[in-house]
Amino acid sequence: MWEYTEKMRDYFLNPRNVGEMKDADAVGEAGSLACGDALKLYLKVKDGVIADASFLTFGCASAIASGSALTEIVKGKTLDEAMTVSNSDIARYLDGLPKEKMHCSVMGREALEAAVRAYRGEPALPAGSEGRIVCKCFGVTEEQVVRAVRENNLTTAEDVTNFTKAGGGCGECLREIEAVIADVVSGKSGDAAEKGTAGAPAGLADWRKRKSAGAAPLSNVQRMQRVMTVLDEIIRPRLRQDGGDIELVDIDGRTVSVALRGTCTSCPSSRLTIEGFVQQTLQEQVEAGIVVREAVS
Amino acid sequence: MNNRIIYFDNNATTGTAPEVLEAMLPFLKDQYGNPSSMYAFAGVSQKAVNKARTQTAALLGARAEEITFTSCGTESDATAIMAALRAQPDKKHVVTSRVEHPAVLTLGQHLEKEGWSVTWLGVDDKGRLSLDELAGALSKDTALVSVMFANNETGNIYPVAEIGALCRDRGIPFHVDAVQAVGKIPIDLSSLPVDYLALSGHKLHAPKGVGALYVRRGAPFRPFLRGGHQERGRRAGTEAVPNIVALGAACELAAARIGEENTRVRALRDTLQQRLTTDIPDCIVNGDPDNRLPNTLNISFKYVEGEAILLHLDRYGICAGSGSACTSGSLEPSHVLRAMGVPFTYAHGSLRLSLSRYNTREEVDYATEKLSQIIDRLREISPFKE
């Protein structure tokens, strides 16, 4: 049984602003029946301000509640303000959603953007309709994944599935999603969306290379080189953002010994940093069997 | 049973029958002896386990020594399948269906990764298997056929006797996941060509935490759990005496009440189906209406989503299940409905109502009335309604 907040249950059982708006100035849609949820948002716009909003939802309880919350949030906002509403604003409005249901709030944000773009005469659907598809089961693009990772600070493929559904079907794209996350975390994805598909991000390029090369086991030298590259290019920049640093002490087979430096040394969650972020990144980027230990000085 | 609850989710689990609770209580309190110990106090536990074995065997038309107690249905399935495969290491092919319970389905997918080849039998739009397809899949390399007796979602009953005959002709062991069937329909293993059969206590009014595996005398077997000599070495680990006693009592009770499942419970289910399909437009019954468990109704409502229905039902204390994506934790709707090719418009809006002998006509009437209102309400919110 999902744990829903009282407010979410209320917005599901007594949804506000339900129904088709015959004289709507803008309509935005997101989701699809095949995917199991869909949202249609209607806006009435007066002098650049959203005067009224209503919705129709096919979907589970949190999809209905998210649609209803969205209409309440945007009423009275200017179109520019509305465009800054994020999926987490919708989730927060409902006092939170179970993480497996976050994709319902993302659908709300997508419908809102679609409606505003339609009103402004801009091309429909900035996300989803174009760009490279990462998840074939749910038709999720790389840009949608990148955006969800950025806006919600996602770190695992499971998070991405919860927010976008990507990877929730056959699961074949999970490794690719991990590569996309690594790119965003390392800052390499830049603005992939704006640049189009021309400059495929480095982590992703690596991933493709590894994938096409098959799962040939790494030699010791190859492994060391890759560990050092990933530490330098992905892990260290991230730690430095928080005033920390990391030093490579030794690589013995698949065991990597590191020492944390800077603010990391006094950080109470340093163990989490090593086991979670450092080890996981190395496992994703270099080899699954890698174990990271903190070197004792 | 709790008065405030209308429990229509008996394929998920059942309430413990009062007679069953009474039978097990002494073994939760004073009779705590370990059946393996060598004094009279422990002998009471030993005798109780033996009695339960006889009661369980009797419900199935089996011999007592063919029954091994386990912790759950999943363990019984895994034990049978791995036992058969380990006993025939030279054979690397398994035949099963796309509509199995995850206990078998996921194990089958794992076996594929471990080097076995698995034939996944498809089903038609009513969820029926093709015996010709099954016969065509069998080969000299086939180590095991595993097909469920009845489906947990649709209630479909599969032709176990016919499948067993095909297997026996070719000397291929046959395992049946009968977790949903035991206690709901008569099963007589003295005449059925079945080599292994799994059942679970909590689906027939025993508590959770106990199951049983039938292994036909002479069928190939290798233990899954090794350790002590319990269950004649077939399943090591100290016996869960209270649960085993409960399972025995539940089997005896089921044998006595099985007629009621097929008369009164069936009539309640039929009434429920008839009223819902009459009162609510755009709904379809999933499964094979001519060959179904007497207690199960799987029905889909177009344009609405299953979890939303369940949460509304929950307000009225009505418990049911759904094959919608949102209820499973996975993001795709039921693998059973998808294997049957149920359209997406319907698959997401599926509702499973599974009754038991503790349900009443009043409950059926109340649920029907509330469901009509709920579906109307959700369709008003849906962007897909015409």
- Say if B234 falls within a structural domain: yes
B52 contacts B248 by C-beta, under 8 angstroms: yes
Which helix (H) or strand (E) segment holds residue B269: the answer is helix B266-279
Measuring CA to CA, which residue among B307, B335, B331 is closest to residue B321? B307
Instruction: Tell me which of A189, A212, A235 is where a domain ends.
Output: A212
Q: Please provide the distance, in angstroms rounded to a whole number, between the alpha carbons at the two ends of chain A.
A: 48
Task: Say if residue A113 is in the same domain as residue A18.
Answer: yes
How many domains does chain B divide into?
2
Task: Say if residue B286 is in the same domain as residue B138.
Answer: no
Residue contact A36–B344, C-beta within 8 A? yes
Q: Residue B256: exposed, middle, or buried by beta-carbon count in 10 A (0-12, 13-18, 19+)?
A: exposed
Task: Say if residue B270 is in the same domain as residue B340.
Answer: yes
Q: List, by residue number, the catalytic residues of A.
A: 35, 104
Task: Say if residue A44 is in the same domain as residue A83.
Answer: yes
Owning domain of residue A263: 220-294
- Say if B1 falls within a structural domain: no
Residue contact A36–B305, C-beta within 8 A? yes
The total number of residues shown for chain B amounts to 386
Task: Say if residue A90 is in the same domain as residue A194.
Answer: no
Residues in B touching A9 (Cβ below 8 Å): 311
How close A146 comes to chain B (CA, Å)? 20
Instruction: Tell me which of A182, A212, A242 is where a domain ends.
Output: A212
Task: Say if residue B247 is in the same domain as residue B262.
Answer: no
d(CA A114, CA A125): 5
Measuring CA to CA, which residue among B48, B59, B20 is closest to residue B208? B20
Q: Is A63 on the interface with B (CB under 8 A)?
A: yes
The total number of residues shown for chain A amounts to 297
Residues in A touching B382 (Cβ below 8 Å): 56-58
Q: What pLDDT is attached to residue A274? A: 79
Phi, psi of B337 (to 5 degrees): -65, -35
Please give the full DSSP string across B157-183, using - where no structure is assigned.
BP-HHHHHHHHHHHT--EEEE-TTTBT
d(CA A87, CA B171): 59
Mutate to test the interface with A, among B109, B326, B335 (most CBs of A within 10 A): B326
Which one-letter amino acid corresponds to residue B265? V
Q: Which residue in A9, A57, A168 is closest to B383 by CB distance?
A: A57
Task: Say if residue B237 is in the same domain as residue B288.
Answer: no
Q: What pLDDT is attached to residue B376? A: 95
Mutate to test the interface with A, among B282, B302, B307 (most CBs of A within 10 A): B307
- Say if B161 falls within a structural domain: yes
**Domain at B286, CATH number:** 3.90.1150.10
d(CA B305, CA B326): 8
Task: Say if residue B310 is in the same domain as residue B277.
Answer: yes
Residue that is written with structure tokens 């437009």 in the block = B281
Measuring CA to CA, which residue among A66, A192, A216 is closest to residue A134? A192
**Domain at A192, CATH number:** 1.10.10.1100
How close A64 comes to chain B (CA, Å)? 8
Task: Say if residue B228 is in the same domain as residue B325.
Answer: no
- Say if A65 falls within a structural domain: yes
Q: Which residue in B315, B327, B382 is closest to A58 by CB distance?
A: B382
pLDDT by residue for chain A (297 residues), tens only, comes to: 778 999 999 999 999 999 999 999 999 998 876 667 889 999 999 999 999 999 999 988 999 999 999 999 999 999 999 999 998 999 999 999 988 888 888 899 999 999 999 999 887 655 445 578 888 778 788 888 888 898 888 988 888 888 888 888 778 888 889 888 988 888 766 444 443 333 344 455 555 555 454 445 677 777 787 888 888 888 888 888 878 888 887 777 788 888 887 776 666 677 777 777 888 888 888 888 888 888 765
Residue contact B344–A34, C-beta within 8 A? yes
**Domain at A62, CATH number:** 3.90.1010.10
How many domains does chain A divide into?
3
Q: Angle B102-113/B73-87 helices, nearest 10 degrees?
A: 30
Owning domain of residue B295: 6-12+258-381
Q: Is A98 on the interface with B (CB under 8 A)?
A: no
Which segments in chain B show pLDDT lower than 50? 1-2
- Say if B89 falls within a structural domain: yes
Q: Are strands B296-301 and B350-354 parallel, antiparallel or unpaired?
A: antiparallel
Task: Say if residue A57 is in the same domain as residue A92.
Answer: yes
Q: What pLDDT is attached to residue B329? A: 59
Residues in B touching A57 (Cβ below 8 Å): 381-383
Q: What pLDDT is attached to residue A192? A: 42
| B327, closest residue in chain A (CA to CA) | A1
| B321, closest residue in chain A (CA to CA) | A1
Task: Say if residue A13 is in the same domain as residue A114.
Answer: yes
Task: Say if residue A73 is in the same domain as residue A169.
Answer: no
d(CA B341, CA B105): 18
Task: Say if residue B250 is in the same domain as residue B303.
Answer: no
Structure token digits, residue B57: 């065997």
Instruction: Tell me which of B215, B232, B254 is where a domain ends.
Output: B254
Residue contact A13–B312, C-beta within 8 A? yes
- Say if B80 falls within a structural domain: yes
- Beta carbons within 10 angstroms of residue A70's beta carbon: 28
Task: Say if residue B215 is in the same domain as residue B309.
Answer: no
- Say if A1 falls within a structural domain: no
Phi, psi of A168 (to 5 degrees): -85, -5
Q: Where are the alpha helices (DSSP H) in A75-201?
A: 79-83, 87-93, 102-120, 142-152, 157-164, 174-186, 192-195
- Say if B386 falls within a structural domain: no
Task: Say if residue A197 is in the same domain as residue A271.
Answer: no
B96 forms beta bridges with B120, B146
Active site residue B326: yes
- Say if A126 falls within a structural domain: no
Instruction: Tell me which of A188, A212, A236 is where a domain ends.
Output: A212
Q: What pLDDT is attached to residue B327? A: 62
Task: Say if residue A14 is in the same domain as residue A114.
Answer: yes
Task: Say if residue A78 is in the same domain as residue A101.
Answer: yes
Task: Say if residue A98 is in the same domain as residue A150.
Answer: no
Task: Say if residue B30 is in the same domain as residue B137.
Answer: yes
Residues in B touching A101 (Cβ below 8 Å): 326
Instruction: Tell me which of B219, B254, B289 is where a domain ends.
Output: B254
Task: Say if residue B265 is in the same domain as residue B198.
Answer: no
Task: Say if residue A226 is in the same domain as residue A261.
Answer: yes
How close A197 comes to chain B (CA, Å)? 28
Q: Is A36 on the interface with B (CB under 8 A)?
A: yes
* Per-residue model confidence as pLDDT tens digits over B180-196: 999 999 999 999 999 99
Task: Say if residue B265 is in the same domain as residue B195.
Answer: no
Task: Say if residue A245 is in the same domain as residue A153.
Answer: no
Q: What pLDDT is attached to residue A195? A: 39
Instruction: Tell me which of B206, B224, B254 is where a domain ends.
Output: B254
**Domain at B164, CATH number:** 3.40.640.10
Q: What pLDDT is attached to residue A232? A: 84
Q: What pLDDT is attached to residue A193? A: 41
Phi, psi of B69 (to 5 degrees): -85, 145
Q: What pLDDT is attached to residue A277? A: 84
Please give the full DSSP string across B2-43, using - where no structure is assigned.
-TT-EE-BTTT--PPPHHHHHHHHHHHTT----TTSSSHHHH
Which one-letter amino acid corresponds to residue A178? E
Residues in A touching B375 (Cβ below 8 Å): none
**Domain at A265, CATH number:** 3.30.300.130
Give the number of beta-carbon pairs within 8 Å between A and B. Answer: 74
d(CA B325, CA B350): 10
Task: Say if residue B228 is in the same domain as residue B310.
Answer: no
Residues in B touching A39 (Cβ below 8 Å): 383
